[in-house]
Amino acid sequence: MLTIQTPEAVMFWVLAPVAVLAALGMLLVKKAVHSALLLAWVMITLAIFYIAQDALFLGIVQIVVYTGAVMMLFLFILMLVGVDASDSLTETIPGLRPIAITAAVGFGGLLVSLIGRATLGHGAVGLDSANGAGNVQALAKLLFSTYVWPFEVVSALLITAALGAMVLAHHQRTVARPTQREQAIARFRGDSLGSAAGLPNPGVFARHNAVDVPALLPDGSAAPNSISATLKARGDMLDSAQFELGEVDNTVTEEK
């Protein structure tokens, strides 16, 4: 028969409210990254609970895999998406907020009430005998005998996940990157030899030498190919008209 020692009870009464509060906090904080950290805290708490409940292996895995790997993945993605992004917590879908609150109270209340009502017909057994040869060993025995099939199958799941991530994220090169030789040939066999000498540098002959300012050609017009295609694509190219020659402002004398 299982008896719960006082230290565990103390630990529970300390950590359980903290975990619940952290979870609540996760709902209520604006920044996703804070949510992630609070979730990590909940998970660590749970890991402690696991260990306290004779699930040593799970506790470790919880910390290493879940908190360590999974949560880091979350954080990584959060970084990618923008770590500063903060959610507005005002509800935009009409009627959802009251429903959510009612649901919270109802679901939680009913669940708690039902758990309180439940009986199993036997007391808590405890894992002392099951873990007799050690938690990890016992688990291993189960995993590699009784549950070997799902264990094998899970590997397929992992491959799926990897494949899936690759499908969605992997940029296959759609055109082969031109070799230097090809580039050279292209330059010289082009319509004109204008580009044979290489592209102009940005900012040349201009008042600005920033990378987003196109070079001015000898006739005073802007040379768009002097700046990075990426900047062009993003529309970050400045208007070259204001940099035409002859518009030098003489009123401002240079400081000496």
Partner 1 sequence: MNPYNYLYVAGLLFTIGAIGVVIRRNAIVVFMCVELMLNAANLTLVTFARINGTLDGQVVAFFTMVVAACEVVVGLAIIVTIYRSRRSASVDDASLLKR
Partner 2 sequence: MDFTAPVLNYALLAPILIVLGGALLGVLIEAFAPRASRHNSQLFVTVASLVIALSALLRVRKQVSVSAAMGSITFDGAGVLFQASILVIAILSVFLIADQENFTALPAAVPGSDEERHSLQTDMRVTEVYPLTLFAVAGMLLFPLSSDLITLFVALEMLSLPLYLMAGLSRRRRLLSQEAALKYFLLGAFSSAFFLFGVAYLYGYSGSITFSGIQASIVGGSGNDVFLLLGIAFISVGLLFKVGAVPFHAWSPDVYQGAPTAITGFMAAATKVAAFGAILRIFYVAFANAEWQWRPALILISIVTMVFGSVVAISQRDVKRMLAYSSIAHAGFLLAGVIALSKAGLEASIFYLFAYGIATVGAFGIVTLVRDSAGEVTDLNRWSGLGKRSPVIASAFAFFLLAFAGIPLTSGFIGKFSIFSAAYESGSTAVLIAGVLSSAIAAFFYIRVIVLMFFKDPAEDGTSVLIPSGLTKTTIAITSVITLVLGVYPAPLINFIASSAFFIR
Partner 3 sequence: MVTSTSLVYLIALPLFGAAILLLAGRRSDKWGHLLATALSAGSFGVGLYQLSQMLSRPTAERAITQKLFSWIAVGTFKVDAGLLLDQLSICFVLLITGVGTLIHIYSISYMSHDENRRRFFAYLNLFIAAMLLLVLGNSYLNLYVGWEGVGLASYLLIGFWNQKPAYATASKKAFVMNRVGDMGLSFAIMISFATLGTVSFAGVQAASHTASKAALTAIGIMLLVAATGKSAQFPLQAWLGDAMAGPTPVSALIHAATMVTAGVYLIVRSNFIFDAAPTAQLLVVIVGAITLMFGALVGTAKDDIKKALAASTMSQIGYMILGAGLGPAGYAFAIMHLLTHGFFKAGMFLGAGSVMHGMNDQVDMRRYGALRKFMPITFATFGLGYLAIIGVPPFAGFYSKDAIIETAFNAGGVKGILLGSTALLGAAITAFYMTRVMVLTFTSKERWEDDQHPHESPLLMWIPMAILAIGSVTTGFLFTRGHALVHWLTPVVGERAEGGKVLLQPAVVSGLALVAVIIGVAIAVSKYQLGKVDSVAPQNVSVFTRIARKDLMQDSFNEAVFMKPGQALTALLVKGDDKVIDGAVRGIAATALGTGSTLRRTQTGFARSYAAFILIGAIVLIAAIWVVTQ
Q: Which positions touch partner 2 (CB under 8 A)?
A: 111, 114-115, 117-122, 133, 137, 141, 144-150, 153-154, 156-157, 159-161, 163-164, 166-172, 174-175, 233
List the beta bridge partners of residue 216: 222
Nearest CA to 221 among 243, 253, 201? 243
Q: Which is nearer to partner 1, 159 or 196 (CB)?
A: 159
Q: How far is CA 128 from CA 53, 98, 184, in A?
A: 10, 46, 76
Report the site for partner 1 in 42-81 (rule: CB under 8 A).
Answer: 42-43, 46, 49-50, 53-55, 57-58, 61-62, 65-66, 69-70, 73-74, 77-78, 80-81
Report the C-alpha gap between 137 and 122 in whole angstroms. 26
- Is position 131 an interface residue for partner 1 (rule: CB under 8 A)? yes
How far apart are alpha carbons 253 and 256 in whole angstroms?
9
Residues 6+ apart with CB under 8 A from 204: 215, 216, 226
- Which two tokens mark 36? 């992630």
Q: How far apart are CA 52 and CA 99, in angstroms?
A: 36
Query: Which C-beta is closer to partner 2: that of 118 or that of 197?
Result: 118
User: Which of residues 94, 95, 121, 129 is near partner 1 by CB under 8 A?
Assistant: 129
> Are residues 66 and 45 in contact, defined by beta-carbon separation less than 8 angstroms?
no
For residue 210, the partner it binds in partner 3, partner 2, partner 1, none, with Cβ less than 5 to 8 A by kind, is none
Residue 24 interacts with which of partner 3, partner 2, partner 1, none, CB < 5 to 8 Å by class: partner 1
* Choices 137-145, 173-181, 183-191, 214-222 (CB under 8 A): range interacting with partner 1: 137-145
Q: Is 241 in the site for partner 1 (CB under 8 A)?
A: no
> Should residue 18 be labelled a site residue for partner 1 when binding is judged by CB under 8 A?
no
Q: CB atoms < 10 A from the CB of 217, how many?
A: 15
Scanning the structure block, which residue is given the tokens 């040379």? 223
Per CB under 8 A, the list member of 80, 114, 168, 176 interacting with partner 3 is: 114
Which residues of this chain interact with partner 3, rule CB under 8 A?
A: 93, 96, 99-100, 103, 106-107, 110-111, 113-114, 117
